[in-house]
């Protein structure tokens, strides 16, 4: 069996690039969040920072849980609404229900 290291490297590089681009999807919404929440640019920047930090921490945890319990168990809507990412994205004082 012949190994294709260059193909594997290319696929991993593409996946990492796609993931990095996906993490910036909230950037265009920052001015809208600032206007709707009536807050300062500093607080909206913290929203982006929290989003990226929570995603960086939650991604490997959810991946591990998906490996252990199956992909379906980690993609249910109940999981998404109670995940750390969903909790961090909610405005303070709201329960999300």
- Give residue 2's pLDDT: 64
Whether 69 maps to a domain, the answer reads yes
* Three-state SS annotation for 17-37: HHHHHHHCCCHHHHHHHHHHH
Whether 55 maps to a domain, the answer reads yes
Q: Which domain holds residue 42?
A: 27-89
**pLDDT confidence bin for 89, thresholds 50/70/90:** low
Does the pTM exceed 0.85?
no
Number of domains in the chain: 1
Return d(Cα 66, Cα 89) in angstroms, integer: 22
Whether 94 maps to a domain, the answer reads no
Whether 3 maps to a domain, the answer reads no
Percent of the chain with pLDDT over 70: 71
pLDDT (mean) for 4-32 = 84
Whether 13 maps to a domain, the answer reads no
Contacts of 30 (CB under 8 A, 6+ apart): 44, 45, 47, 48
- What does the pLDDT look like over 26-70, one tens digit per residue? 788 888 888 998 989 888 888 888 888 888 888 888 888 888 887
- Give residue 67's pLDDT: 84
Residue spans of alpha helices (H) in the chain? 5-23, 30-37, 41-69, 71-74, 77-82, 84-89
Whether 22 maps to a domain, the answer reads no
84 has a pLDDT exceeding 70: no
97 has a pLDDT exceeding 60: no
Torsion of CA 53, 55, 57, 61, to 10 degrees: 170
Whether 80 maps to a domain, the answer reads yes
């Amino acid at each position: 069996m012949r190994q294709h290291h260059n193909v594997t490297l290319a696929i991993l590089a593409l996946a990492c690039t796609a993931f990095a681009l996906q993490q910036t999807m909230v950037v265009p919404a920052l001015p809208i969040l600032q206007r709707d929440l009536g807050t300062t640019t500093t607080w909206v920047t913290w929203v982006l920072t929290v989003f990226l930090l929570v995603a960086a921490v939650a991604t490997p945890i959810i991946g591990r849980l998906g490996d252990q319990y199956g992909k379906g168990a980690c993609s249910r809507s109940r999981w998404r609404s109670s995940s750390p990412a969903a909790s961090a994205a909610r405005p303070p004082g709201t329960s999300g229900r």
